[in-house]
Amino acid sequence: MLNTTTRSLLVAGVMTLTYFAAPGADACPGGIDSELLVELPGEMRSVFVHEPAPVDPAPKPGAANAPLIQVAILLDTSNSMDGLIDQAKAQLWMIVNRFAKAQRDGVEPNFQIALFEYGNTNLPAEEGYIRQVVSFTNDLDKVSASLFALKTNGGDEYCGQVINEALDRLSWSEKANDFKAVYIAGNEPFTQGDVHYVGVCERARGKGVLVNTIHCGKHDAGVSGMWQHGAHLAGGSYMTINQDRSVVHPAAPQDDALAKLNAELNKTYLHYGARGEQLKEQQEQLDIDNTNLSNDAGAQRAVTKAGKYYDNAHWDLIDASKKEGFDLAKVPAEQLPEAMREMSLKEKQAHIEKMAKERKAVQDKIKKLAAEREKHIAEARRDAADAEGASLGEAINKTIDEQLEEQGYEIEGKKEQAPEAEEQPQDQPEAEAKKK
């Protein structure tokens, strides 16, 4: 019999659906993955149950020795954390772009990201007000859409328990050279809950998973609340941020050109599969949503789409055609773009190759503009951080280069980082912090 566990899913913010799930399975906005065993009414099934995609969207190594970067972001979604969620939505792409600068021994690593929320009373109390939003994935649009779907509500924030859930539910690499890190952000004491943080953080360190703690508030409050101690135990960094700081940056001269190039880039995507057209529409809507958040979020997203970590093989023919085992001949004509449905197989292949070349040309232009833009906004970011305190993305980016380099990774074109979070020395905490 299939080994399953009982889980609960908040549906439309109104009702809780209880279902059986294979260990490690997602319960994320936008769909229940196919491995879940769930009884749903027909009108709900069309929303939550996805047909398997022709190509598995899960990351697969590009080479036998390709290293892997795994990042789990754990966000407090209690009442006071609306600003934190806004920063996460706006700065996802900045974080991804920073990780994309890394390589190890000349090999580009694969990248996986996961997302948890905690401290939200809309979530089941018996599960610690915790939800795995997205398991490890390289589907960055899925992560972005999930961030936009998060809602805050008051609750108890159990830091130890949510870290423990991330360690248990996620498929962490067992390779010593792979980079594994948790970033947990919140504002209540780190000590809350029945699962104490001390044992959990020590366990994370034993698994080679760094735990970086990001306290939303003053440095001293984070120290007394044991956020610093948690990072110390798990070999990570302790930082403080201003979660209410606006992440809007001054316009850069390259922004308009990047927006136009991004629109050209979208034209090169050739959807396929039962949900391909829907996911292409989601891609375009996320462009709008991010740009509406800030000009920086829109520009950073365009840069990500031009980079190595933006992979849509589960719905885009160009990305899929690069994957081993993909067979264009097996894709039903009705699941292709209308312009391709009457083409012969040879014509379809030629069209994909043509659009791939066009995409590469647009991506190269975006990368060139992105380098110019990065120089322009560095000082503006530094000034904003100095005046108002660092934001979530800046806190995470503060740690990336240093921690990757400690594990033998090289950072492409490393430059002086601006808008730094307030990282504090990992002092040995007082004796009262040790145990309950």
DSSP 340-387: GTTS-HHHHHHHHHHHHHHHHHHHHHHHHHHHHHHHHHHHHHHHHHHH
Q: Which amino acid is at 6?
A: T
381 pLDDT tier (thresholds 50, 70, 90)? low
Q: Based on the domain organization, do 39 and 106 belong to the same domain?
A: no
User: Which range has the worst mean pLDDT, 23-32, 221-230, 265-274, 282-291?
Assistant: 23-32
In a domain, 417, yes or no: no
When pLDDT is averaged across residues 352-357 and rounded to a whole number, the result is 98
Tell me, what's the pLDDT at 431?
Answer: 42
Distance CA 205, CA 236 (A): 9
Pairing of strands 102-103, 68-76: unpaired
Q: Are residues 309 and 225 part of one domain?
A: no
Q: What is the pLDDT of residue 7?
A: 45
Average pLDDT score over residue span 113-140: 96
- Which residues on neighbouring strands pair with residue 8, listed in sequence order? 18
- Count of domains forming the chain: 3
Determine which helix (DSSP H) or strand (DSSP E) holds 7, and give its type and residue range.
strand 5-11
**Are 241 and 259 in the same domain?**
no
Residues 170 and 289 in one domain: no
Mean per-residue pLDDT for 108-112? 96
Is residue 88 helix, strand or coil? helix
Q: Determine the pLDDT at residue 248.
A: 62
Residue range(s) defining the domain that contains residue 20: 1-50
- Whichever domain contains 135, its CATH number is 3.40.50.410
For residue 199, tell me if it sits in a domain.
yes
pLDDT, averaged across the chain = 83
| Residue 409, in any domain of the structure | no
- At 321, which amino acid appears? S
Q: Is the pLDDT of residue 430 over 70?
A: no
Long-range Cβ contacts of 223-229 (<8 Å, 24+ apart)? 223/424, 223/429, 224/189, 225/188, 225/189, 225/190, 225/191, 226/189, 226/190, 226/191, 226/197, 226/429, 226/433, 227/190, 228/424, 228/426, 228/427, 228/429, 229/190, 229/197, 229/198, 229/429, 229/433
Tokens of 323: 């994957």
Can you give the pTM of this predicted structure?
A: 0.81
Please state the φ and ψ torsions of residue 228, each to the nearest 5 degrees.
-65, -40
Residue 247 or 119, more confident: 119
Asked if 83 and 141 sit in the same domain, the reply is: yes
> What is the predicted pLDDT for the residue at 36?
36
| Predicted pLDDT of residue 384 | 60
**Is residue 238 located within the same domain as residue 121?**
yes
Higher pLDDT, 44 or 121: 121
CA distances from 81 to 56, 77, 243, 394 (A): 34, 6, 7, 17
